[in-house]
Amino acid sequence: AQSVAQPEDQVNVAEGNPLTVKCTYSVSGNPYLFWYVQYPNRGLQFLLKYITGDNLVKGSYGFEAEFNKSQTSFHLKKPSALVSDSALYFCAVRYGSARQLTFGSGTQLTVLP
Amino acid sequence: DAGVTQSPTHLIKTRGQQVTLRCSPKSGHDTVSWYQQALGQGPQFIFQYYEEEERQRGNFPDRFSGHQFPNYSSELNVNALLLGDSALYLCASSVGQSSYNSPLHFGNGTRLTVT
């Protein structure tokens, strides 16, 4: 069965510092991996995806993610955090012919001024 | 260009009642998926509609049903509401049912409270 895990419920980082939000996935074929962000009382916004190719994927708003097959991880990163990056972040996976996305439980990112 | 629109934004119902939620997909999209997001959790897949048919279903009881119209808009119906059905219901649209690498576009959701 496909699944993703976000081991940290909460991540705090100072503005201007690099940030990392962790995600690991279960192994079952070749995964399609996604990151979404959710602001309060809003739907999810797409940040980036990994399908195949380069392990470092660049996305919206300066975010990037590194796919690591040996560690089955897909961590979200940003070199310099902004207060406006504070939000709830979800990692999601889709396998093979499955039509649905399976989401992690989410990580609340707080960037402190 | 309008994105995914959902109505209503908020809804309060009593246990045992029935509810209908509505979704209009992003322009050019023909596939609609519904997700349930309970408080403090990630979204969970309910079902997907394409060409007016349910194409895949998650682990939800038959009390949850849906419909897709010729203009690609969709409805989610929940019968015999339970307190546990209280959640944010998200609609997502995409192009083609088999576009596995295409991101979903989400609406802002309908917040359903069952009392």
Give the residue on B whose Cα is nearest the Cα of A41: B108
B35 in Cβ contact with B94 (< 8 Å):
no
CA distance A26 to A17: 30
Q: Which residues of B touch A51 (CB under 8 A)?
A: 101
**B41 contacts A32? CB cut-off 8 A:** no
**A100 contacts B33? CB cut-off 8 A:** yes
Return the H-helix or E-strand segment holding A91.
strand A87-95
Of residues A95 and A44, more confidently modeled:
A44
Q: Which among A76, A90, A85 is positioned nearest to A113, based on CA atoms?
A: A85
Query: 3-class SS at A17?
Result: coil
- For residues B3-39, one letter each, b for 16 or more C-beta atoms within 10 angstroms of the residue's C-beta and e for the rest, the string is ebebeeeeeebeeeeebebbbbbbeebbbbbbbbbee
Q: What is the CATH number of the domain that holds A80?
A: 2.60.40.10
Token digits for B72? Answer: 């690609």
Looking at the 3D structure of chain A, how many domains does it have? 1
Region of poorest pLDDT, from A56-65, A67-76, B67-76, B98-107: B98-107
Going from N- to C-terminal start, the domains of chain B cover 5-97+105-114
Q: Which among B22, B11, B6, B5 is positioned nearest to B74, based on CA atoms?
A: B22
Tell me the shortest Cα–Cα distance from A16 to chain B, in angstroms: 28
**Domain span including residue A24:** 4-112
The fold of B5-97+105-114 is Immunoglobulin-like (2.60.40)
Q: Which among A65, A98, A93, A42 is positioned nearest to B111, based on CA atoms?
A: A42
B78-91 confidence digits (pLDDT tens): 999 999 999 999 99
A46-88 confidence digits (pLDDT tens): 999 998 888 999 999 999 999 999 999 999 999 999 999 999 9
**A90 contacts B41? CB cut-off 8 A:** no
Count of C-beta atoms within a 10 Å radius of residue A93: 22
Tell me the shortest Cα–Cα distance from A36 to chain B, in angstroms: 9
**B105 contacts A105? CB cut-off 8 A:** no
Q: Which residues of A touch B58 (CB under 8 A)?
A: 100
Give Cα A81 to chain centroid, integer Å. 15
Give mean pLDDT, residues A89-94: 94
> Is B34 a residue whose pLDDT tops 80?
yes
> Is B9 a residue whose pLDDT tops 70?
yes
Query: 3-class SS at A107?
Result: strand
Q: Does A32 touch chain B (CB under 8 A)?
A: yes
- Please, which residues have CB within 8 angstroms of residue B53's CB and are 6 or more apart in sequence? B68
Q: What is the mean pLDDT of chain B?
A: 94
Q: Which residues of A touch B39 (CB under 8 A)?
A: none
